[in-house]
Copies of this chain bind each other. A is one copy, B any other.
Amino acid sequence: MMMHYSQQKIFEMEYYQRTAFINSLSGFKSLNLVGTTNSKGISNLAIFNSVMHIGAHPPLMGLVTRPDSVERHTLANIRESSSYTINHVCKDIFVQAHQTSARYDKEISEFDAVGLTPKFKSNFYAPFVQESKVQIALRLQEIILIRINQTYLVIGEIVEVYFPQDALLNDGVLDIELCNTICGSSLNGYHETHLIERLKYAKP
C-alpha cells in the first residue's frame, strides 16, 4: 500500500527519523573516502556519500559538505592545500570507512584510528587509500556556497587516477563492480551491486 507524507507530516517527524527518511529519498549514493593533509602534515580521512560527476571535459568531480560536520577537517584541509584524493569504498573496507565518520580530534589521523593505509604517490600532497581499488587525485577549482542551507559544493579537477587494469572496458567504462565498489542508502546502509544490463545510447 502506498503511503503519502505531505510536507506538514515531514515537519512533524522526530528529528533523527526525519534525517534518516529524507536521506533515503535521493536513491543510492556513491561512497568515497576523501584523503587530505593539513599544514602540520597530519592526514585526515572522511567518508562522503555526496561525491558526484560534474563533467568530463574538463574532468570534474563535486562533493557536498557542511561547515559544521565531522568532515569539517576535510574542508579546512582542502581550502589550505587545494589537494585531496577521492577513493572508492570497496566491499572489504566498508566498516573502516564508516568508522571515519566518528568525531576524532583533528590531531588524530583517521587512517591510524580506523586501520587504513595512507599511500603517498605521484608527488601529490594528499594521501590515497592503499586498500581502495579506485584512487583519484583532485586539485580544487571552486567552492560554491549553497545559500539555502549553508552547505558547500566543492569542485575539483581530476589530475591522477589509479585503477585495476582489467576493470577498464573497451568503450572507456571502468567496471566499478569488478573493483568491489559498493554503494550506500540513507546514512547507514551499505550495499553491493549486481549488474542487470548495460544499455546502448538511446535514440527516438
A26 touches B2 (CB 8 A): no
Contact with B along A176-188 (1 / 0, CB 8 A): 1100011101101
Whole-angstrom distance between the alpha carbons of A163 and B201 in the complex?
Answer: 30
Q: Is the CB of B196 within 8 A of A188?
A: no
- Contact partner of A64 (CB less than 8 A), chosen from B54, B102, B163, is B54
A24 contacts the other chain (CB 8 A) = yes
A148/B25 in contact, CB under 8 A: no
Interface residues in A56-107 by Cβ distance below 8 A to B read 56-62, 64, 86, 88-89, 91, 94-95, 98-104
Q: Is the CB of A204 within 8 A of B113?
A: yes
Q: Are A192 and B193 in contact (CB under 8 A)?
A: yes
Q: Is the CB of A6 within 8 A of B172?
A: no
Query: In the complex, are the beta carbons of A19 and B190 less than 8 A apart?
Result: no
In the complex, chain B residues whose CB is within 8 Å of the CB of A42 = none
A43 at the interface (CB under 8 A from B): no
**A86: which B residues are within 8 A, CB to CB?**
25-26
Given contacts A190-B198, A193-B193, 6 further A-B contacts (CB under 8 A): A4-B162, A13-B172, A18-B57, A60-B149, A173-B189, A188-B201
Query: Roughly how many angstroms separate A176 CA and B25 CA in the complex, as a whole number?
Result: 8
- Considering only residues 1-20 of chain A, those with a C-beta below 8 Å from chain B are 1-7, 10, 13-20
